[in-house]
Structure 1
Amino acid sequence: MGYPVGDKILLEVAERIKASLRGSDIVCRWGDDKFMILFPKISHGDDLEKITQRLLNNIGESLQLSEKVLYLEYSMGCAIYPQDGHDSKTLLRQAESRLTNHKKEMRAKNKRYNLTIDPKASKLLKAKTALEEALKHQELELYCQPQIKIRTGEISGVEALIRWNHPELGQIKPQKFIPVAEQTDSIISIGEWVLRQACLQNRTWQDMGLPNLIMSVNLSPLQLKDTNFINLVESILGETKLAPQWLELEITEKAILANTEIAHQVLQNLRQLGIHLSMDDFGTGYSCLNHLPKFPLWHLKNRSVLCTRNNRKTRKYCYYFSSYRFGKQFGLTGYCRRG
């Protein structure tokens, strides 16, 4: 891009840094692409963490020059006096060492992104920027997969699925980009889009006079931790005028067991709104059956690989069948998902 563009980037970052600092803080350029900041009157890591977090939030992860969106990569190393040293040389050496370690961590993270996305996606400048652009330019599309009662063939509900129609790479399946979205926190905005579109679609069907169906939407573990999630769900239901009994939220077994206290509270709040709840991929992780009665669940969902005729003599199938019967004792309905 050349030196002029590089200079513009440095100037923009410098302005963002200055806007983040207190009046007593000092910032200077320390090399070609480095800035050094002196924070007076900081005696422990908690204060430094708050200030640096504000700094990172204000710098952001992208900036726009002309018509191009550029993704910023930056690393940070900190040292505190007197814990990390009593003179400037020692403190700088400690900060440089931590900066180097942070760069290594960032490279490892970027490598994971590349492994997660399809090889064709190497054409993308950065995964997070591409996903944000996909939302902005309406490249994401909602698909609805019917849920069918085996005995009657009746459609009992639908599950909302997402596809990414990339202008260069074509259609990208969620297995390729959802893990990246979760690593970059883009899943919060994508999850909000899916929830809103799913509720809007279900309400549209109802307005057309079609039979009422429950729309099932997958919930990310990061959404489960989002303190604003309950308010968001209420807002979307009000905005789309969809009654809560026609919405179901799915959370994986792994996500529930990762933090049972948070999961229990969030699911209880959702249940109080009248929303259906289900545990997805049940039986594929480290299942603990004594957790089932503790959560306000309606359904258990399993992958079809556990339910096929060829697997009926395997330990996995026996485990699934026993778990299903156990759940049924608590009024939970079982689903078997294809794919």
Structure 2
Amino acid sequence: MTEPNKPAALALVVDDDELMRLLVREALESEGLRVEEAADGRAALEVFARAKPDIVLLDVNMPVMDGFECCGKLRAAPGGERVPVLILTGQDDDGSIERAYEAGATDFMPKPLHWKILAHRVRYLLRTSRSIEDLARSEASLAVAQELAHVGSWERRPETGELYWSGEIYRILGLDPKRDQPSFEKFLQRIPEEERAWLISAYAELQEKGGKYELEHHVVSPDGSLRAIYQRAEVFKDEHGRTVLIHGTLQDVTERKQIETRIRTLAYFDNLTGLPNRLQFKEHLGRAIRRAEREHSQLAVMFLDLDRFKQINDSLGHQVGDQLLKAVAVRINSCLRGGDEVGRNSDDGVSMARLGGDEFTVLLTGLAHAEDAAKVAQRVVAELARTYSIEGHELFVTASLGIATYPADGRDVDTLLKNADAAMYNAKDLGRNNYKFYSRELNERAVERLALERDLHRALERGELFLHYQPQVDVASGSVAGVEALLRWSHPQRGLVPPAAFIPLAEQTGLILPIGEWVLGQACRQATAWSAAGAGALKMWVNVSGIQFRDRRLVGAVKTALARSGLDPKRLVIEVTESIMMEDREATLAILRELKALGIGVAVDDFGTGYSSLAYLKRFPLDTLKIDGSFVRDLDAAAERDGAIVSAIIAMGESLGLGVLAEGVETRQQAARLHEMGCNVMQGFLFSRPVPAEEVPALVKSLGAVARASVAGKLALAAG
């Protein structure tokens, strides 16, 4: 019977965050579900008893009663045994996940939530729940039918050879009761060839020894599909011990098997890539360690993290990010030994997994030498660095990879993963797009890194961050054209922390966003303060990291900094590195246009170190090319190659109508060559180190005085 007027499924959303409940409600109602709400676990139990929801979406951290306790009480409540419970929480560690499932959760979904995926997950759990309910009802009905009417049963009398099949047997085997007479041969024709021999053997043993058996096998349907079958049979003897009847039943358990497979897939595989997930990888690694211990062999764990993936994901959206992760999984797999397929969990070579986000792991077993893992790592790093073309976007992404080996770097699962992770961070710290092996020194550095990260979280609110400013001098006019704001950190115990030690950490943790906004605001306020003090209308140059540049809030942050400081937009210049600009050129173009619409300047930092194309530079609304200091450094030695590069950059800037500034100028010879080539605006230790804000006005006057006192009126400033 159909139920055309059956109401839509009812979901109970339990979260103490009213906004989160509202967002989840909107996501579910847009998919046609009805929604009830509760703000804590105790209220959820009351709503559950009254409304009898079809599914429960449950937060963990709530007042009165947390989600774990609530889940356990729901399972004990009448009607709560089979209702799917989806845990929604920001806690995605193994302990929280294990505790959720122990409490009776059906599934686990970490926050922040992807609303489309949430709706699909709820629909899937509802379908699975209905299938399980249907299966339970079918099994109950079948048990009664088997007892009363022998539905799905067969009987054979050895003395006469007579064989009986019920109507359900015909249906399971796909045979016609009017045309096909019951026979063991007919039955075997429906059995896959590879299963026939052991079925014949099992039946022969049953006839010979008596007793009963329970078997699982398959039946080939007329359409060629395989059906999973559970078969039971039992021998009945008379008072003289002679077999008088063999009675059996067949049960089609295909749907149950499919549900079990789906449940296993949810528990052990990553939904996006189809790869084993963290849980399965750790189990497999544990088995591999035990085997390596018995065989006295070596294995390696590779921990891989994509460089700057968050920028792509944030700027282009999760759909592009998901497609990129799939492509990365395929490429990693192509680099592994023996041609194993993606996600294959083999015990004789490679196991690959996605741990979450943009983190992947690879297990290499049976290594003759631990260093053999380096060959695989080299292939992976090189392969992932190739261009990706996804949904019309040309993307560049690299990977940093850490390697830990058994038994040298650890003898258990958690230690090997932790040490491979530490090695991966070392690869990032050393420039990214490479791989590194673990060492004990790395562990010490990892501990140090965690302490530094903890302190960096508090540095901004404690006022430990401050700015220094380095002047940019026009040697032709002898004037200071502007200053670059440079971030510094004064740690209460460590003293001055080098920027190279904390800025990459801020980028990796996402702290660069609030810190970057603070830098913008502080720099703009300082430029306005200098003008009020009579120091002139200096331009303020501010570096923007790749994460800031791809963040949708950048333009708003610049607007806010200008509005609150009252700084003329023409006096603010945003610096973005060449490599970041070229990661996604169309997205870069859109961001640059928004920034230029504010009236500010845009400079390409570290120019010459990336892979810009002249065609794209013509399209980008830029103002200045900043020659990287690495090219300036060798001008002292009259290096032809670097001299040619600098000359080409200057010529390119002139042809595009862009200003050119050289950074890292440290000697008079460098300044002289740059001036001869046509670059007059320079920055570097030759003129001044970065100085505190209060020293800038006097420095501007002193540099100007040196220029005015110059004999030739051109390079005396540099010579001074």
TM-score range with shorter-chain normalisation? 0.7 to 0.9
Change (3 A) 1:269 1:84: farther
Q: Tell me which residue corresponds to 1:304.
A: 629
Q: Tell me which residue corresponds to 2:110.
A: 52
Q: Tell me which residue corresponds to 1:272.
A: 597
How far 1:84 sits from its partner (Å)?
9.5
Q: Tell me which residue corresponds to 1:225.
A: 550
Looking at structure 2, the residues matched to 314 and 222 of structure 1 have their Cα atoms a distance apart, in angstroms, of 36
Question: Percent same amino acid among aligned pairs?
Answer: 31
1:283-322 → structure 2 map (5 Å cutoff): 283-307=608-632, 308-322=634-648
Change (3 A) 1:322 1:134: same
1:201-212 → structure 2 map (5 Å cutoff): 201-212=526-537
Query: Any idea what the Cα deviations from partners look like across 1:1-21, whole Å, max 9, x if unmatched?
Result: xxxxxxxxxxxx9416849x9
1:86 and 2:261 correspond? yes
Which of 306-315 and 118-127 deviates more? Answer: 118-127
How far 1:151 sits from its partner (Å)?
2.2
Q: Tell me which residue corresponds to 2:656.
A: 330
Looking at structure 1, the residues matched to 453 and 624 of structure 2 have their Cα atoms a distance apart, in angstroms, of 33
Q: Between Structure 1 and Structure 2, how many residues are aligned?
A: 295
Change (3 A) 1:110 1:131: farther
Does the residue aligned with 1:306 lie in a helix, a strand or coil? helix
Change (3 A) 1:36 1:166: same
1:97 and 2:280 correspond? yes
TM-score normalised by structure 1 residue count: 0.74
Change (3 A) 1:25 1:130: farther
Opposite residue 246 of structure 1, the aligned amino acid is: R
Looking at structure 2, the residues matched to 317 and 31 of structure 1 have their Cα atoms a distance apart, in angstroms, of 56
Looking at structure 2, the residues matched to 121 and 156 of structure 1 have their Cα atoms a distance apart, in angstroms, of 42
Looking at structure 2, the residues matched to 306 and 204 of structure 1 have their Cα atoms a distance apart, in angstroms, of 35
1:166 and 2:341 correspond? no
1:133 and 2:458 correspond? yes
Opposite residue 529 of structure 2, the aligned amino acid is: T
Q: Tell me which residue corresponds to 1:188.
A: 513
Q: 1:214 aligns with which of 535, 539, 548?
A: 539
Looking at structure 2, the residues matched to 251 and 257 of structure 1 have their Cα atoms a distance apart, in angstroms, of 10
Does structure 2 retain, via aligned residues, the 8 Å contact 1:245–1:274? yes
Change (3 A) 1:31 1:199: closer
Does structure 1 retain, via aligned residues, the 8 Å contact 2:635–2:643? no
Does the residue aligned with 1:215 lie in a helix, a strand or coil? strand
Does structure 2 retain, via aligned residues, the 8 Å contact 1:120–1:169? no
TM-score normalised by structure 2 residue count: 0.37
Query: Any idea what the Cα deviations from partners look like across 1:165-187, whole Å, max 9, x if unmatched?
Result: 11121111211111111111111
Q: Tell me which residue corresponds to 1:15.
A: 61
Looking at structure 2, the residues matched to 93 and 221 of structure 1 have their Cα atoms a distance apart, in angstroms, of 35
Change (3 A) 1:261 1:168: same
Opposite residue 220 of structure 1, the aligned amino acid is: S
Does the residue aligned with 2:261 lie in a helix, a strand or coil? coil
1:153 and 2:478 correspond? yes
Change (3 A) 1:319 1:32: closer
Does structure 1 retain, via aligned residues, the 8 Å contact 2:627–2:649? no
Opposite residue 99 of structure 2, the aligned amino acid is: F
Q: Which has the higher contact order (CA 8 A, sep 6+)?
A: 1
Query: Any idea what the Cα deviations from partners look like across 1:189-217, whole Å, max 9, x if unmatched?
Result: 11111111101111111121220011000
Q: Tell me which residue corresponds to 2:273.
A: none
1:237-256 → structure 2 map (5 Å cutoff): 237-256=562-581
Which of 118-127 and 258-267 deviates more? Answer: 118-127
Structure 2: stretches of 5+ with no match in the other structure: 1-58, 72-82, 115-123, 129-256, 270-276, 284-352, 362-416, 431-441, 665-683, 685-720
Change (3 A) 1:52 1:148: same
Looking at structure 2, the residues matched to 31 and 160 of structure 1 have their Cα atoms a distance apart, in angstroms, of 43
Q: 1:263 aligns with which of 571, 585, 588?
A: 588
1:25 and 2:85 correspond? yes
Looking at structure 1, the residues matched to 653 and 484 of structure 2 have their Cα atoms a distance apart, in angstroms, of 21
Which of 118-127 and 278-287 deviates more? Answer: 118-127
Does the residue aligned with 1:141 lie in a helix, a strand or coil? strand
Does structure 2 retain, via aligned residues, the 8 Å contact 1:311–1:317? no
Does structure 2 retain, via aligned residues, the 8 Å contact 1:113–1:180? no
Looking at structure 2, the residues matched to 299 and 84 of structure 1 have their Cα atoms a distance apart, in angstroms, of 61
Does structure 1 retain, via aligned residues, the 8 Å contact 2:466–2:487? yes
Does the residue aligned with 1:156 lie in a helix, a strand or coil? strand
Opposite residue 305 of structure 1, the aligned amino acid is: S
Structure 1: stretches of 5+ with no match in the other structure: 1-12, 41-47, 57-78
Looking at structure 2, the residues matched to 254 and 188 of structure 1 have their Cα atoms a distance apart, in angstroms, of 19
Does structure 2 retain, via aligned residues, the 8 Å contact 1:84–1:90? no
Does structure 2 retain, via aligned residues, the 8 Å contact 1:250–1:278? yes
Opposite residue 25 of structure 1, the aligned amino acid is: V
Change (3 A) 1:35 1:324: farther
Looking at structure 2, the residues matched to 285 and 207 of structure 1 have their Cα atoms a distance apart, in angstroms, of 39
Opposite residue 100 of structure 2, the aligned amino acid is: M
Does the residue aligned with 1:287 lie in a helix, a strand or coil? coil
Does the residue aligned with 1:151 lie in a helix, a strand or coil? coil
Q: Tell me which residue corresponds to 2:99.
A: 35
Change (3 A) 1:253 1:26: closer
How far 1:124 sits from its partner (Å)?
5.5
Looking at structure 1, the residues matched to 506 and 423 of structure 2 have their Cα atoms a distance apart, in angstroms, of 15
Does the residue aligned with 1:54 lie in a helix, a strand or coil? coil
Does the residue aligned with 2:599 lie in a helix, a strand or coil? coil
Change (3 A) 1:273 1:123: same
Change (3 A) 1:229 1:86: same
How far 1:25 sits from its partner (Å)?
2.8
Opposite residue 266 of structure 1, the aligned amino acid is: I
Does structure 1 retain, via aligned residues, the 8 Å contact 2:606–2:626? yes
Does structure 1 retain, via aligned residues, the 8 Å contact 2:422–2:446? no
Change (3 A) 1:139 1:31: closer
Opposite residue 86 of structure 1, the aligned amino acid is: T
Does the residue aligned with 2:607 lie in a helix, a strand or coil? coil
Which of 149-158 and 104-113 deviates more? Answer: 104-113
* C-alpha RMSD over aligned residues: 3.7
Does the residue aligned with 1:197 lie in a helix, a strand or coil? helix
Does structure 2 retain, via aligned residues, the 8 Å contact 1:305–1:311? no
Looking at structure 2, the residues matched to 134 and 178 of structure 1 have their Cα atoms a distance apart, in angstroms, of 12
